[in-house]
């Protein structure tokens, strides 16, 4: 079987959040293959754990993927502050003599943003709305790379490495079957408060669940990498609750036009046309969105990657350019409006002077007390799992099992449906107890 077929068969998708089918991404030719082990957002600890514990498997996955795309340069990118992880990867490189270089970035946010990362490594900016492939590179998250290595050894994606940090008695890094309830995972970390909020992902771009009751029904997917437990009155929770109409009024009345949001915007600084201060200035002209004269101002919102630097760090007035951009992005999409894309962006000179030190960002977010929490590794062995048939970009997989079927860990339960889709496998041994409404529920035990 061809390597791409094995990766497709194993259901490998982008594990860093996007969930794009990896076999489709690797069906290309590029000079440079980049493993993104930067772990972009503060506090997350899952990719670092993988680098410390599975360095040789990561190298194997990277060599496999690089061979597939014909890359002559293989780079693992991570932050220079990840001392143990660098040590572990350097040892593995020395022992295997793998032709892999480590690219050590300064600890800034968002170092792991694909476009920022490629510009830092290749010194070339990706065109607006483009892909790393446009400048000769393919990028995979380190957990996807690990899964690529497993796939070519016939092992499908069944488990996830997931850190739980924040307001907990025991910060953990779980190795957990996909489909495990998030409430089950959280119990292992022992939250310190009776009531709490959870961010699924990182503090800057993760999805906020404001009350623990709303976690019911949420499960570990192929893209879940971290849970951040917070007090319900934490700044991040209160900030996310402000409605868009109020944010619009704030933009119209309180923006100083100091342009700090634009000067620190990572996409602006790699040369993309995104000037959040201009969008804020024009917020009161929303009714002119269709007017060509204003399309330049509003159309730039499409180049925003929602990293949150502008509103969580840059703005001295506590305004929300990111959420205004998100809002206008939605409006532009609904009206089918699009600014012509700049195919030849150029990064500003001395770009490194405009980068946000992660430590300062953590302090600004009110998260310093959770920084550098040491995570304990724990294997989770749930009695049941509820596996979604859609954990990826593209069409949901088609269920191929029915109630009462006996399955083992690794049995195919959902078959990819079209080019952009992914296979789904059982993550435990057991019996199918439900197979409907986009989920397959499996319980441990024998079939009757
Ligand atoms: S969220 Fe703000 S800082 Fe980030 S890309 Fe968008 S405009 Fe720029
Ligand atoms: S940083 Fe804040 S106050 Fe300054 S221009 Fe941007 S939104 Fe306005």
What's the whole-number mean pLDDT along residues 141-155?
Answer: 98
Is 261 a pocket residue for ligand 2 (Cβ < 6 Å)? Answer: yes
Which atom of ligand 2 is the closest one to the Cα of 320?
Answer: 7
Is 177 a pocket residue for ligand 2 (Cβ < 6 Å)? Answer: no
pLDDT tens per residue across span 59-78: 999 999 999 999 999 999 99
- Residue of 311, 312, 317 best suited for mutating to test ligand 2, as the one with most atoms within 8 Å of CB: 317
Helix (H) or strand (E) segment spanning residue 251: helix 244-254
Q: 44-48, 123-127, 338-342: lowest mean pLDDT where?
A: 338-342
User: How far apart are the CA of 265 and the centre of ligand 1, in A?
Assistant: 5
Which atom of ligand 2 is the closest one to the Cα of 321?
Answer: 7
- CA distances from residue 173 to 87, 133, 337, 376 in whole angstroms, order as listed: 20, 33, 44, 6
pLDDT of residue 1: 64
Q: CA angle, 95 as apex, 93 and 98 as ends, to 5°?
A: 40
Domain formed by 384-448, architecture: Beta Barrel (2.40)
The alpha carbon of 99 is separated from its chain's Cα centroid by a whole number of angstroms, namely 27
Is 324 a pocket residue for ligand 2 (Cβ < 6 Å)? Answer: no
Tokens of 92: 């593995």
Residue 25 pLDDT greater than 80, yes or no:
yes
Of all ligands present, the nearest one to the C-alpha of 302 is 1
pLDDT tens per residue across span 296-309: 778 889 999 999 99
What's the whole-number mean pLDDT along residues 6-35?
Answer: 95
Q: CA angle, 198 as apex, 195 and 203 as ends, to 5°?
A: 135
Nearest CA to ligand 1 atom 3: 265
pLDDT of residue 336: 86
Which atom of ligand 1 is the closest one to the Cα of 305?
Answer: 5
Residue 319 pLDDT greater than 70, yes or no:
yes
- Cβ-based neighbours of 181, under 8 Å, separated by 6 or more: 218, 219, 382, 386
pLDDT tens per residue across span 92-132: 999 999 999 999 999 999 999 999 999 999 999 999 999 99
Is 317 a pocket residue for ligand 2 (Cβ < 6 Å)? Answer: yes
User: How far apart are the CA of 62 and the centre of ligand 2, in A?
Assistant: 42
- Residue of 250, 257, 278, 354 best suited for mutating to test ligand 2, as the one with most atoms within 8 Å of CB: 257
The alpha carbon of 206 is separated from its chain's Cα centroid by a whole number of angstroms, namely 8
User: What are the φ/ψ torsions at residue 117 (nearest 5 degrees)?
Assistant: -65, -45
- CA distances from residue 188 to 2, 127, 227, 380 in whole angstroms, order as listed: 40, 44, 12, 9
Helix (H) or strand (E) segment spanning residue 245: helix 244-254
pLDDT tens per residue across span 194-233: 999 999 999 999 999 998 889 998 999 999 999 999 999 9
User: How far apart are the CA of 198 and the centre of ligand 1, in A?
Assistant: 23
User: How far apart are the CA of 309 and the centre of ligand 1, in A?
Assistant: 6
Of all ligands present, the nearest one to the C-alpha of 319 is 2
Is 322 a pocket residue for ligand 2 (Cβ < 6 Å)? Answer: no
The alpha-carbon radius of gyration of the chain (Å, integer) is: 22
pTM, to two decimals: 0.95
Pocket of ligand 1 (CB under 6 A): 265, 267, 274, 276, 304-310, 321-322, 325
pLDDT of residue 297: 77
- Residue of 258, 275, 322 best suited for mutating to test ligand 2, as the one with most atoms within 8 Å of CB: 258
Q: Where along the chain do its domains lie?
A: 3-151, 159-234+368-382, 244-364, 384-448
pLDDT tens per residue across span 366-384: 999 999 899 999 999 999 9
- Which CATH number does the domain 159-234+368-382 belong to among 2.40.30, 3.30.70, 3.40.50, 3.10.20? 3.10.20
Nearest CA to ligand 2 atom 8: 255
pLDDT of residue 298: 83
CATH number of 3-151: 3.40.50.11540
pLDDT tens per residue across span 229-285: 999 999 999 999 999 999 999 999 999 999 999 999 999 999 999 999 999 999 888
Q: Please, what's the b/e burial string for 280-302 (b: 16 or more CB within 10 A of its CB; e: otherwise)?
A: bbbbeeeeebeeeeebebbbbbb
- Residue of 304, 310, 315 best suited for mutating to test ligand 2, as the one with most atoms within 8 Å of CB: 315
- Residue of 310, 324, 329, 356 best suited for mutating to test ligand 1, as the one with most atoms within 8 Å of CB: 310
Peptide bond into 110 cis (omega under 30): yes
**283-287: long-range contacts (C-beta < 8 A, 24 or more apart)?**
283/248, 283/251, 283/252, 283/255, 283/324, 284/252, 286/248, 286/328, 286/331
Is 406 a pocket residue for ligand 2 (Cβ < 6 Å)? Answer: no
Cα–Cα nearest to 234, from 193, 279, 267, 273: 193
Residue 349 pLDDT greater than 80, yes or no:
yes
| Cα–Cα distance for residue pair 218/182, rounded to 1 Å | 6
Confidence category of residue 339, pLDDT binned at 50, 70, 90: confident
What's the whole-number mean pLDDT along residues 419-425?
Answer: 97
| Cα–Cα distance for residue pair 50/40, rounded to 1 Å | 15
User: How far apart are the CA of 330 and the centre of ligand 1, in A?
Assistant: 15
Half-sphere exposure of residue 297, counting CA atoms within 13 Å on the CB side? 18
Residue 364 pLDDT greater than 70, yes or no:
yes
Residue 191 pLDDT greater than 90, yes or no:
yes
Q: List 211's β-bridge partners, or say none.
A: none
DSSP string, 330-376: HHHHHHT--PPPPSS--PPTTGGGG-EEHHHHHHHTT-GGGTTPPPE
Which atom of ligand 1 is the closest one to the Cα of 267?
Answer: 5
What's the whole-number mean pLDDT along residues 285-291?
Answer: 79
Is 259 a pocket residue for ligand 2 (Cβ < 6 Å)? Answer: yes
Is 314 a pocket residue for ligand 2 (Cβ < 6 Å)? Answer: yes
pLDDT of residue 447: 59
């Amino acid at each position: 079987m061809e390597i791409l077929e094995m990766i497709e068969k194993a259901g490998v998708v982008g594990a860093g959040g996007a969930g794009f089918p990896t076999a489709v991404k690797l069906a290309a030719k590029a000079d440079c293959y980049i493993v993104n082990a930067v772990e972009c957002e503060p506090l997350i600890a899952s990719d670092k754990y993988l680098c410390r514990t599975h360095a040789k498997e990561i190298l194997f996955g990277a060599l496999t993927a690089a061979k597939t795309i014909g890359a002559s340069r293989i780079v693992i990118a991570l932050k220079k502050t990840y001392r143990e992880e660098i040590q572990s990867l350097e040892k593995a490189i020395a022992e295997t003599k793998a032709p892999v270089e480590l690219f050590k970035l300064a600890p800034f946010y968002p170092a792991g943003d694909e476009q920022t990362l490629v510009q830092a490594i290749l010194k070339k900016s990706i065109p607006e709305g483009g892909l790393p492939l446009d400048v000769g590179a393919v990028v995979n998250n380190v957990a996807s790379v690990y899964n690529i290595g497993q796939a070519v050894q016939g092992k499908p994606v069944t488990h996830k490495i997931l850190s739980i940090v924040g307001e907990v008695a025991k910060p953990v890094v779980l190795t957990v079957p996909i489909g495990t309830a998030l409430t089950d995972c959280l119990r292992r970390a022992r939250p310190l408060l009776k009531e709490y909020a959870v961010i699924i992902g990182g503090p800057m771009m993760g999805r906020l669940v404001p009350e623990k009751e709303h976690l019911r029904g949420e499960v570990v997917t192929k893209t879940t990498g971290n849970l951040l437990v917070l007090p319900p009155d934490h700044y991040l929770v209160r900030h996310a609750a402000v409605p868009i109409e109020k944010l619009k009024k704030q933009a119209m009345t309180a923006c100083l036009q100091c342009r700090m949001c634009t000067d620190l915007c990572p996409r602006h600084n790699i040369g993309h046309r995104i000037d959040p201060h201009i969008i804020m200035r024009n917020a009161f002209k929303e009714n002119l969105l269709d007017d060509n004269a204003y399309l330049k101002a509003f159309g730039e919102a499409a180049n925003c990657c929602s990293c949150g630097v502008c509103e969580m760090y840059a703005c001295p007035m506590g305004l929300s350019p990111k959420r205004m951009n998100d809002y206008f992005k939605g409006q532009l999409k609904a009206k089918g409006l699009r600014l012509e894309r700049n195919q030849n962006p150029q990064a500003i000179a001395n770009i490194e002077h405009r980068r946000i030190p992660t430590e300062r960002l953590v302090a600004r977010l009110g998260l310093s007390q959770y920084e550098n929490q040491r995570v304990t590794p724990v294997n989770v062995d749930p009695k049941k799992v509820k596996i979604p048939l859609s954990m990826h970009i593209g069409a949901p997989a088609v269920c191929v099992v029915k109630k009462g079927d006996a399955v083992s860990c690794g049995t195919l339960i959902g078959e990819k449906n079209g080019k952009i889709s992914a296979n789904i496998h059982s993550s435990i041994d057991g019996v199918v107890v439900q197979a409907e409404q986009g989920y397959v529920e499996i319980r441990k035990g024998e079939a009757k």
